[in-house]
Amino acid sequence: MGLVDSIFSHERQGYYGEYGGAFIPEILRTTLDELIVVFDSARRDPAFWDEFLQVMRTYSCRPTPITHLENLSNEVGGAQIYLKREDLNHTGAHKANNVMGQGLLVRRMGKKRVIAETGAGQHGVATATMAARLGLQCTIYMGAVDVERQRPNVFWMEQLGAEVVSVTDGSATLKDAINESLRDWAHSMAHTHYVLGTACGPHPFPQIVAYFQRVIGEESREQMLSALGCLPDKVFACVGGGSNATGMFLGFLDDPEVELVGVEAGGLGLATGEHAARLAGKVGSSGVAQGYKTYFFQDPEGQMQHTHSVSAGLDYIGVSPILAHLFDIGRVRMESATDKEVIDGLKRMMRAEGIIGALESTHAVVAALREATTMSADETVLVNLSGRGDKDIFTIADALEDENWKRFLKDKVGKL
C-alpha cells in the first residue's frame, strides 16, 4: 500500500501512525458516525467526484495554472521556481475546494445550516459563498483579534449573508473559534453541518479535507509533467492546520524523489517563543485537544501556549495529524519563516513578478527562495501559493509603515 492509499484507508479509522482519532463527547458520536457513512458512500461513487470536479471547473476556475517565476528565478540564480496558483481560485484561496466538496455532502445529508471557524477569513468567505450558492443558513466563528486584522473578509462574509460571531475567549484567535464552533455543533447537529476548514479535528474531518484538497496536488503533478517532462525536485507549502499542504503533498507523496517541505510561522524568531513553529521549532509535543491527537504547542502540563504570526491563518496551536505522521516518518521536512522574512519576501515577489500572495502562502515562497539559491539551474521547485494577499491589506500596510495608508486611516477614523 502506498502512502496516499494509507491516508484514505479504512483499516485504522482515522489514525495516521499514532495521530488522529476522534476524542469527542458522546453527544457528537451519532453525528460523526452519520458523516462517516455519507462520506464513505460519496467517495465510493465515481459520479460524486465527477460532480465535484464539474462544480470546480465551472464555478471556481479549476484547474488553476502553474506560473514560472522567471524573474525571481534569475534573481536568486539557482533552481527554477514555479507557483501553483490557488490564489486564482474563486474566493481567492484553496479553501473553495474543501467547502464546495463539503457542500455537496451537506446536500446528501439534507441539512439546512452550516457553521465554520476561520482565522485568516478565507475559509469563512468560501463557506459563506458555498452557503449562498446552495441556499443554506450560515454562521462563521472568528476570533476577535482576527476580526480586526481581517476586516475586508468579515465585510464580504456578512454581505454574502453569513452571521459572523466574534469570539473573545482565550487568545481570541483560530483555536478559540474552533472551540466555539464545536459548542454550537453540539447543540445544533440535527440540522447543522460543521464545515471544518483544515485537515484537523476528529475523524473523519482530516480525511474529508484531504480528499477534496488533493485536487491541488493531482493537478500540479500532471501540469509539471506536461510542461517540463519531469517532477519538481522540491515542493513547498505553508502549514497552519495543514489543508493546503496536505492537498499539495498528496500529489507527490508516492514519488520519493520529490522532497516535500512544509513551512510554519517563525513569528518573531524561534528563540523568542513568539511563533507557531510546532514542528520546525521543536516545541510541539503529542497531545489530545479539539477532538484529535497530534503535535500541539503546549507546555509540559498540556496547557496550550500562546502562538504568534503576522498571518492570521498560521497561528494555530496544532497541526494536521496526517502531516504529524508524515513528519515523524521523515516524508515531510518542516522549516519556518519569520514575520520579517515574509514581509520582505512578499514585497520582493510583488516587485519582481507582479503577484500579491497571502501572508500565509508567502511563508512557503520565502523558504523556497532561500533553498533555491543552494540548488542548480537545472533543478526545479514548486510552491503552493495557497491564497492571494488582498485580505491582508491592513496588516501589510502597517508592516510596511506606509505613510499614505496611515493618513488615510487617520482621516477615516476621525470621521467615524
Whether 235 is covered by a domain: the verdict is: yes
Name the pTM for this structure: 0.94
CA distance 338 to 60: 32
Number of residues written out for the chain: 416
Residue 347 shares a structural domain with residue 323 = yes
Whether 289 is covered by a domain: the verdict is: yes
Give the H or E element holding residue 364: helix 359-372
Of 329, 339, 332, 364, which Cα lies nearest the Cα of 274? 339
Helices (runs of H) and strands (runs of E) counted in the chain = 16, 14
Report residue 86 CA to chain centroid gap. Answer: 11
**For the residues of 85-153, what is the DSSP string, one character each?**
EGGGSGGGBTHHHHHHHHHHHHHHHT--EEEEEESSSHHHHHHHHHHHHHT-EEEEEEEHHHHHHTHHH
Residue 165 shares a structural domain with residue 255 = no
CATH number at residue 277: 3.40.50.1100
Of 91, 78, 149, 158, which Cα lies nearest the Cα of 372? 78
CA distance 213 to 81: 22
CA distance 309 to 301: 24
pLDDT at 302: 84
CA distance 21 to 14: 5
φ and ψ at 93, to 5 degrees? -165, 175
Q: Cell for 197?
A: 476548514
Contact at 8 Å (CB) between 246 and 322?
Answer: yes
Of 151, 90, 143, which Cα lies nearest the Cα of 397? 151
Give the H or E element holding residue 255: none
CA distance 342 to 352: 15
Whether 164 is covered by a domain: the verdict is: yes
Q: Cell for 37?
A: 457513512
Q: Cell for 228?
A: 517540463
Q: Of 205, 227, 260, which one is at a domain's C-terminal end? A: 205
Residue 201 shares a structural domain with residue 162 = yes
Contact at 8 Å (CB) between 233 and 259?
Answer: yes
Residue 52 shares a structural domain with residue 67 = no
pLDDT tens for the 416 residues of the chain, in order: 799 999 998 778 899 999 999 999 999 999 999 999 999 999 999 999 999 999 999 999 999 999 999 999 999 999 999 999 999 999 999 999 999 999 999 999 999 999 999 987 899 999 999 999 999 999 999 999 999 888 888 999 999 999 999 999 988 888 899 999 999 999 999 999 999 999 999 999 999 999 999 999 999 999 999 999 999 999 999 999 999 999 999 999 999 999 999 999 999 999 999 999 999 988 889 999 999 999 999 888 888 888 999 998 899 999 999 999 999 999 999 999 999 999 999 999 999 999 999 999 999 999 999 999 999 999 999 999 999 998 888 888 888 877 776 677 656 554 44
Whether 47 is covered by a domain: the verdict is: yes
Of 64, 15, 19, 165, which Cα lies nearest the Cα of 387? 64
Residue 49 shares a structural domain with residue 175 = yes
Q: Cell for 147?
A: 476580526
> Residues with catalytic annotation?
95, 117, 386
Residue 227 shares a structural domain with residue 270 = yes
Residues sharing a CB contact under 8 Å with residue 408, sequence separation 6 or more, in sequence order: none
CA distance 94 to 171: 26
Q: Of 179, 205, 231, which one is at a domain's C-terminal end? A: 205
Q: Cell for 162?
A: 453569513
CA distance 135 to 149: 29
Residue 200 shares a structural domain with residue 254 = no
DSSP secondary structure letter of residue 331: S
Residue 320 shares a structural domain with residue 391 = yes
Report residue 205 CA to chain centroid gap. Answer: 13
Whether 73 is covered by a domain: the verdict is: yes
Contact at 8 Å (CB) between 258 and 328?
Answer: no
Contact at 8 Å (CB) between 387 and 357?
Answer: yes
Residue 82 shares a structural domain with residue 99 = no
Residue 36 shares a structural domain with residue 180 = yes
CA distance 390 to 401: 17
Whether 85 is covered by a domain: the verdict is: yes
Residue 88 shares a structural domain with residue 137 = no
Residue 330 shares a structural domain with residue 391 = yes
**For the residues of 39-76, what is the DSSP string, one character each?**
HHHHHT-HHHHHHHHHHHHHHS-PSPPEEE-HHHHHHH
pLDDT at 88: 97
Count structural domains, the chain.
2
Q: Which domain holds residue 118?
A: 29-57+95-205
Whether 414 is covered by a domain: the verdict is: no
Handedness of CA 373, 378, 384, 388 (dihedral sign): positive
Report residue 293 CA to chain centroid gap. Answer: 18
CA distance 5 to 321: 16
How do beta strands 292-296 and 285-289 pair? antiparallel
Whether 218 is covered by a domain: the verdict is: yes
Q: Of 149, 176, 205, which one is at a domain's C-terminal end? A: 205
